[in-house]
Structure 1
Amino acid sequence: MEEETVKTVETSEEQLAKQHRKEKKDMQAKIQSMKNAIPKNDKKRRKQLTEEIAKIEADLNQKHEEELRPLKSTADTEVEQVLNGVEAINMDDGEEEEGKQPRLTKAQKRRDKKAAEEKERESRIAEAEVENLQGVRHLEGLKLAQKLAQQQLQIKEISSDGHCMYRAIEDQLAQRSEPGLITCVKDLRSSSAEHMRGHADDFLPFLTNTNTGDMYTTDEFEKYCSDVEHTAAWGGQLELQALTQVLHLPIEVIQADSATIKIGEEFESQPITLVYMRHAYGLGEHYNSVEVLKDPASAEDG
């Protein structure tokens, strides 16, 4: 009798869990359909959609909790009754308690542990989504998208590996398809370092020892240039200044909260356009390339 009671409780929980999994799957399909129905550049509607999605998920979670509550209450009562029955039997036969009580208790603990782990996992996912949607990285991305849209451009993601500035320039040069241009990261680094060595007076005043505050010595400057050429040292405005002279091209750097930086304006060609991000990937500073803004409808189809 005790075994039948426990099996009945377990079967009911399994059926409800199966139903809940299906409802969550249907909800995810509905959410995806809602996302696909809104153009990517409709920021206002997408913000409203985020709030709608959060409400849909919260309502479903509340519904599931309400459905589980009476079942858990019933299960706890029935298990308690079974255990009490076992204890009564154990007054006459201690060996029977030893055989049955631990088995029932462990089964309940496994179910409780699994439910707690699932709830914690869902909570972590929800927190991550909120942080991503409301955090500084998301806000920075929105501002940049708005600025770029005015020029009919959008961000083209570049990998974050220490070479991002050079890879972004490499991508911009590849889009031009102009013969004679340096088009690989290794050559961009080498040419940048070579130009800095040959024009030390233009760069030394901007390089200081972080410990002493003094301007770089000749040896320190040479090490700096060597790192530019041979390592994955991050590039910055000094390297951009060198590359404008090497490539004879202007470079513009678009930022979310500051005016666009323009370097090499003495050159009249179409500028290389980079996007500077302060909060990308949780790693801090990062450069991306840009590309022509895609039509939302065709982007969805692709």
Structure 2
Amino acid sequence: MAEVETPEELLIKQHRKEKKDLQAKIQSMKNAVPKNDKKRRKQLTEDIAKLEADLSQRHEDELQQLKSAPDKDVEEAANGVETLKVEAGEQEEVKQPRVTKAQKRRDKKAAQEKERDSRIAEAEVQNLQGVRHQEGVKLAQKLAEKTLQIKEISSDGHCMYRAVEDQLTQRSKPGLNVTFKELRSRTAEHMRNNPENFLPFLSNPTTGDTITTDEFEKYCSEVEHTAAWGGQLELRALTHVLRLPIEVIQADSPTLKIGEEYDAEPITLVYMHHAYGLGEHYNSVEPLKNPANAEES
């Protein structure tokens, strides 16, 4: 015949289970708070300490109450263990801090940011073997031979003109400091005044035919007033506008040189096929900051 447990033994057994359940709940609470959120981690530590203290105090009170109960209540205590378990669980649940809607939103946002950071990190690792990274390495090597490095230009459709503007600004010579908007305007004006040098090289994207005079005017207007990307035709116009040669360095092609009829230090641009995941892009260049380190590498 199995030995019947005393009410005190039953209560102690129940207390052990409640402590185990609380530890599991505490671990879950810890997992829900990011380690780098110092403010919430501090509050979590205080909440956990309170939960453990409350449970310990309740267990002590229940044991004391059982020991001091009259003999006639012993049998009721034994028969009411299950009720005690339910009530204890309810009390513990009430004493746990309530998670507000605002806190739930913060937790959800933190989880989303963590997932996003993880995706970005993974993408960056994959990109180390991607075409953009390889292009950057090759360009850095070519520029290092000229004691130059890339100077980033914003990718907003004006990158070619902004890069030329930056090159002119670096020279700091009178008459050369013009804005990218002025460069656009002067490029469009030169093309309008010399249509024979540009119109034959432009075709209608739909029909493939050489564009008409009206279409050429529309093209020049877009050069002047919109963020339309610039290419070799616009660079050719710029060499005449500035009376300066322009060289364009690329990763997998020889350096493109335009306007070599002008005997002057060329404007140097970098043309990237895979920049920022957006495709083609122009950057400027600047003197290499650590040429000694580049030679060692």
Same fold (TM over 0.5): yes
Given that 2:144 and 2:291 are in contact with CA atoms closer than 8 Å, whether structure 1 keeps it comes out as no
Percent identical across equivalent pairs? 66
Structure 2 residue 279 is matched with structure 1 residue 264: no
Instruction: Tell me the CA shift for residue 134 of structure 1.
Output: 1.7
Structure 2 residue 143 is matched with structure 1 residue 148: yes
Distance of aligned partners of 1:217 and 1:19 in 2 relative to their CA distance in 1, 3 Å threshold: closer
Instruction: Tell me the CA shift for residue 268 of structure 1.
Output: 0.9
Given that 1:140 and 1:256 are in contact with CA atoms closer than 8 Å, whether structure 2 keeps it comes out as yes
* 1:262 aligned counterpart, secondary structure: strand
Letter matched to residue 11 of structure 1: I
Distance of aligned partners of 1:157 and 1:6 in 2 relative to their CA distance in 1, 3 Å threshold: same
Structure 2 residue 128 is matched with structure 1 residue 133: yes
* 1:265 aligned counterpart, secondary structure: coil
Aligned to 1:8: 23
- Choose from 265, 268, 272 the match for 1:277: 272
> How well do the aligned residues superpose, as a CA RMSD in angstroms?
3.9
**Separation of aligned partners in 1, 2:251 and 2:245:** 20
Letter matched to residue 243 of structure 2: H
Instruction: Tell me the CA shift for residue 180 of structure 1.
Output: 1.6
Aligned to 1:181: 176
Between 1:163-172 and 1:287-296, the stretch displaced more is 287-296
* 2:154 aligned counterpart, secondary structure: coil
Report how many aligned residue pairs link the two structures.
Answer: 229
1:155-177 Cα deviation digits (max 9, x unpaired): 00000111100000000001111
Given that 2:163 and 2:284 are in contact with CA atoms closer than 8 Å, whether structure 1 keeps it comes out as yes
**Separation of aligned partners in 1, 2:223 and 2:282:** 16
Aligned to 2:189: 194
Given that 1:158 and 1:287 are in contact with CA atoms closer than 8 Å, whether structure 2 keeps it comes out as yes
Distance of aligned partners of 1:164 and 1:152 in 2 relative to their CA distance in 1, 3 Å threshold: same
Given that 1:182 and 1:188 are in contact with CA atoms closer than 8 Å, whether structure 2 keeps it comes out as no
**Unpaired runs of at least 5, structure 1:** 23-88
Instruction: Tell me the CA shift for residue 129 of structure 1.
Output: 1.8
Distance of aligned partners of 1:218 and 1:116 in 2 relative to their CA distance in 1, 3 Å threshold: closer
* 2:268 aligned counterpart, secondary structure: strand
**Unpaired runs of at least 5, structure 2:** 1-14, 38-79
**Separation of aligned partners in 1, 2:182 and 2:164:** 12
Distance of aligned partners of 1:215 and 1:176 in 2 relative to their CA distance in 1, 3 Å threshold: same
Given that 2:147 and 2:291 are in contact with CA atoms closer than 8 Å, whether structure 1 keeps it comes out as no
Letter matched to residue 9 of structure 1: A
Aligned to 1:216: 211
Say which one has the larger Rg: 2
Distance of aligned partners of 1:127 and 1:215 in 2 relative to their CA distance in 1, 3 Å threshold: same
- Choose from 240, 248, 265 the match for 1:253: 248
The correspondence of residues 65-84 of structure 1 with structure 2, limited to 5 A, is none
Q: TM-score, normalised by structure 2?
A: 0.66
Instruction: Tell me the CA shift for residue 130 of structure 1.
Output: 1.4
Aligned to 1:61: none
Instruction: Tell me the CA shift for residue 186 of structure 1.
Output: 1.3
1:203-240 Cα deviation digits (max 9, x unpaired): 01110001111101000000000000111111111000
Aligned to 1:165: 160
**Separation of aligned partners in 1, 2:109 and 2:169:** 52
